[in-house]
């Protein structure tokens, strides 16, 4: 009696390793955690205080399904001024995490057998959501010699008459790379006029390094109507547990996606939305502080891995992840990750989960002391192979 689409879903292996890491830690094991998918900073106090106030003031009931009007206003303001996305509050739906925004967008846009282009390595949940919607995913295997960046020729070649959606995620989880405005424009030129939508997951937009600038796909001239942008509060404000995200799109898409919210979650938590509003109002300085800290840690991790025999890391341009080629060790990415956890108590995520065998993902959402300790243990692991 189980729906075959549900049966075919993969268990999230990133969550599996994260859970195992947490369990070992709870048992008192001194695990160095390079597997975390969330910032290690506490949620800023201005967000927490706003949530406490919301509770005390009785802001604890259902609110409009598309979101708290003041929050939608604030998001629209942010998107216009920072991202140059020409939208209003009516183009926004606030969701229970960015994950649910992706889910609602995918279900609103796709019908059975529609083709979805998915550049690999990809974030683990995209293929599963596409599967659940009954659509067909077409993976574009981006090349490691291009640091896993999608090339315009690859996009051109993958496009067919059935293509309905291209999923882009930049800065990328897991590769840590991002795209310039020029590269995005070239992608748009290829799909323009072909009735292909872009689902642009920009959840790591605030974490870009080395003076790089983030460009939103929907800000490209002419691209707005065929782009659904997803963003949220989890990564930029260390609010993963608050489950707060949003999607931005043309009003017709919003009208349809709203019905999905109406009949599933009703609305994202009112308390979290009050916290999110405060985060947008007061969070600029805080955000810049954590961005700098992450960049500093990125440098330490990259130097450490790059100087370790057998490892070839990609220098991340954004996110808090670093993707690392481990193929010279002769181990599969799963054997590398499980061996490292068993023998040296260091957890990383195997790349096969992201469609990139031969790689593992390191997260630098941990302290510099932990990064140094982890690198030393990894070298011991490599020595003993």
Interacting residues toward ligand PLP by CB under 6 A: 37, 97-99, 123, 169, 173, 201, 203, 232, 234, 240, 245
Which residue in the shown chain puts its C-beta closest to ligand PLP?
Answer: 97
Q: How far is the CB of 172 from ligand PLP (least distance, A)?
A: 7
Of 33 and 234, CB closest to ligand PLP? 234
Q: What distance in Å separates the CA atoms of residue 355 and residue 85, rounded to the nearest whole number?
A: 31
Q: How far is the CB of 162 from ligand PLP (least distance, A)?
A: 25
Q: What distance in Å separates the CA atoms of residue 382 and residue 70, rounded to the nearest whole number?
A: 53
Residue that the structure tokens 């994260």 belong to: 18
Q: How far is the CB of 75 from ligand PLP (least distance, A)?
A: 14
Q: How far is the CB of 38 from ligand PLP (least distance, A)?
A: 7
Q: How far is the CB of 185 from ligand PLP (least distance, A)?
A: 22
Q: What distance in Å separates the CA atoms of residue 81 and residue 15, rounded to the nearest whole number?
A: 35
User: At 228, phi and psi to the nearest 5?
Assistant: -110, 120
- Asked if residue 107 lies in contact with residue 165, where contact means CB atoms within 8 angstroms, the answer is no
Q: How far is the CB of 123 from ligand PLP (least distance, A)?
A: 4
- Asked if residue 46 lies in contact with residue 283, where contact means CB atoms within 8 angstroms, the answer is yes
CA distance to 299, 337, 349, 368, per residue, from 346 (Å): 19, 8, 10, 15
Q: How far is the CB of 354 from ligand PLP (least distance, A)?
A: 10
- Asked if residue 323 lies in contact with residue 174, where contact means CB atoms within 8 angstroms, the answer is yes
Of 240 and 332, CB closest to ligand PLP? 240
Which one-letter DSSP state was computed for residue 137? Answer: E
Output the CA torsion sign for 39, 43, 46, 50.
positive
User: Which residues, 6+ apart, have CB-to-CB distance to 300 below 8 Å?
Assistant: 364, 368, 371, 372
Of 286 and 381, CB closest to ligand PLP? 286
Of 124 and 253, CB closest to ligand PLP? 124
Residue 39: which of 169, 175, 206 has the closest Cα?
A: 206
Q: What distance in Å separates the CA atoms of residue 206 and residue 236, rounded to the nearest whole number?
A: 6
Of 149 and 379, CB closest to ligand PLP? 149
183: tokens are 């590269």
Of 172 and 370, CB closest to ligand PLP? 172
Q: How far is the CB of 33 from ligand PLP (least distance, A)?
A: 15
Q: How far is the CB of 331 from ligand PLP (least distance, A)?
A: 25
Of 344 and 347, CB closest to ligand PLP? 347
Of 233 and 381, CB closest to ligand PLP? 233
Q: Which residues pair with 258 in a beta bridge?
A: none
User: Which residues, 6+ apart, have CB-to-CB distance to 132 below 8 Å?
Assistant: 5, 6, 9
Of 71 and 331, CB closest to ligand PLP? 71
- Asked if residue 186 lies in contact with residue 218, where contact means CB atoms within 8 angstroms, the answer is no
């Amino acid at each position: 009696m189980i729906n075959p689409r549900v049966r075919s879903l993969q268990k999230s292996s990133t969550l599996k390793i994260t859970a195992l890491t947490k369990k070992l830690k709870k048992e008192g094991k001194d695990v160095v955690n390079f597997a975390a998918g969330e910032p290690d900073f506490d949620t800023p106090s201005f967000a927490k205080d706003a949530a406490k106030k919301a509770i005390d003031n009785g802001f604890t009931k259902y609110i409009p399904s598309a979101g708290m009007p003041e929050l939608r206003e604030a998001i629209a303001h942010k998107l216009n001024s920072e991202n140059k996305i020409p939208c209003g509050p009516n183009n926004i739906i606030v969701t229970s995490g960015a994950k649910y925004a992706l889910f609602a967008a995918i279900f609103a846009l796709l019908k059975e057998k529609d083709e979805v282009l998915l550049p690999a390595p990809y974030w683990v949940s995209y293929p599963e959501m596409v599967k659940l919607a009954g659509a067909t995913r077409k993976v574009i295997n981006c090349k490691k010699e291009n640091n896993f960046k999608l090339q315009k020729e690859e996009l051109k070649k993958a496009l067919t008459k059935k293509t309905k959606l291209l999923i882009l995620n930049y800065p990328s989880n897991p590769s840590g790379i991002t795209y310039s405005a020029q590269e995005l424009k070239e992608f748009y030129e290829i799909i323009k006029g072909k009735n292909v939508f872009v689902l642009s997951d920009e959840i790591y937009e605030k974490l870009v390094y080395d003076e790089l600038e983030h460009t939103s796909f929907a800000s490209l001239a002419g691209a707005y109507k065929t782009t659904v942008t997803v963003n949220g509060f989890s990564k930029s404000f260390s609010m993963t547990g608050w489950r707060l995200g949003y999607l931005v799109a043309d009003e017709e898409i919003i009208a349809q996606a709203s019905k999905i919210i109406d009949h599933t979650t009703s609305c994202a938590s009112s308390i979290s939305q009050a916290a999110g509003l405060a985060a947008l109002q007061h969070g600029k300085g805080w955000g810049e502080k954590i961005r700098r800290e992450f960049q500093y840690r990125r440098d330490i991790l990259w130097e450490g891995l790059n100087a370790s025999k057998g490892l070839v890391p990609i220098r991340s341009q954004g996110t808090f992840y670093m993707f690392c080629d481990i193929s010279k060790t002769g181990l599969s990415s799963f054997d590398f990750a499980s061996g490292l956890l068993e023998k040296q108590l260091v957890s990383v995520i195997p790349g096969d989960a992201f469609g990139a065998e031969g790689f593992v993902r390191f997260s630098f959402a941990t302290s510099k002391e932990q990064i140094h300790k982890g690198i030393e243990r990894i070298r011991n692991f490599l020595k003993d192979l």
